[in-house]
Amino acid sequence: MKAEDAAKKVLDTMLGHLGFTATMDLEHDAEGPCLQIKTAQPELLIGDDGDRLDDLQYLVNRLLRKHYEDAPRIKVDCAYFRSMQEEKLRTEVLSLADKVKHSGKPFQMRPLNAYFRRLVYQAVLDDPLIEAHSPEGASRLKRITLSLKS
């Protein structure tokens, strides 16, 4: 069984135990494989700001890595919530990068988890004038600072 099929089975089992009737499609985007959940009550699976999706994604990937060491990271989404959230963040980062370019002053973003910090780094990766950095430490949420490259 392929890792992606195993991830789909794991998520389907979890949702069944939680009492959800749902279907899933395996999609691929720029980030890799994504399990897109379709259910009658997506708001119950999404939670506040996607926190339940984060939890489901974490559990699916932990269980998957236990049996498939080289498994790709699986994204879990519901009603395209995460996709819309990612696009909104990319737009915000590019707008903030423009402000930093014009003002020359660094800008510190709101606290972000590791997944969204990675998206910020990717958004400014090809910009020759902007760099992004976050503080060291074990904190789950960190603030990225966008500044001009020195």
Given the candidates 3.30.710.10, 3.30.300.20, 3.40.140.80, 1.10.150.120, the CATH classification of the domain at 3-79 is 3.30.300.20
- pLDDT for 141: 85
Question: What confidence score (pLDDT) does residue 115 get?
Answer: 82
28 Cβ contact partners less than 8 Å away, ≥ 6 residues apart: 34
85-148 has which fold? Ribosomal Protein S8; Chain: A, domain 1 (3.30.1370)
Q: Decide whether 3-79 matches 85-148 in CATH topology.
A: no
CA dist 107 and 87 (Å) reads: 20
Can you give the pLDDT at residue 138?
A: 80
- Which of 31-35, 61-65, 91-95, 120-124 is the least confident region? 31-35
pLDDT reported for residue 29: 80
Looking at residue 1, its pLDDT comes to: 76
Confidence of residue 48 (pLDDT cuts 50, 70, 90): confident
Q: Does residue 46 carry a pLDDT above 80?
A: yes
Q: What is the pLDDT of residue 75?
A: 93
Mean pLDDT of 69-86: 92
How confident is the model at residue 102, as a pLDDT? 95
Query: Which of the four pLDDT bands, split at 50, 70 and 90, describes residue 139?
Result: confident
CB-based burial label for 59 (10 Å; 0-12, 13-18, 19+)? middle
Distances (CA, A) of 80 to 25, 49, 117, 130: 12, 13, 20, 29
Return the pLDDT at 132: 94
Residues 58 and 98: their CA atoms lie apart, in Å, by 33
Indicate the pTM of the whole model: 0.79
- Model confidence at 136, pLDDT cuts 50, 70, 90, reads confident
Domain residue spans of the chain: 3-79, 85-148
Query: In this structure, are residues 100 and 130 in contact, taking their beta carbons and an 8 Å threshold?
Result: yes
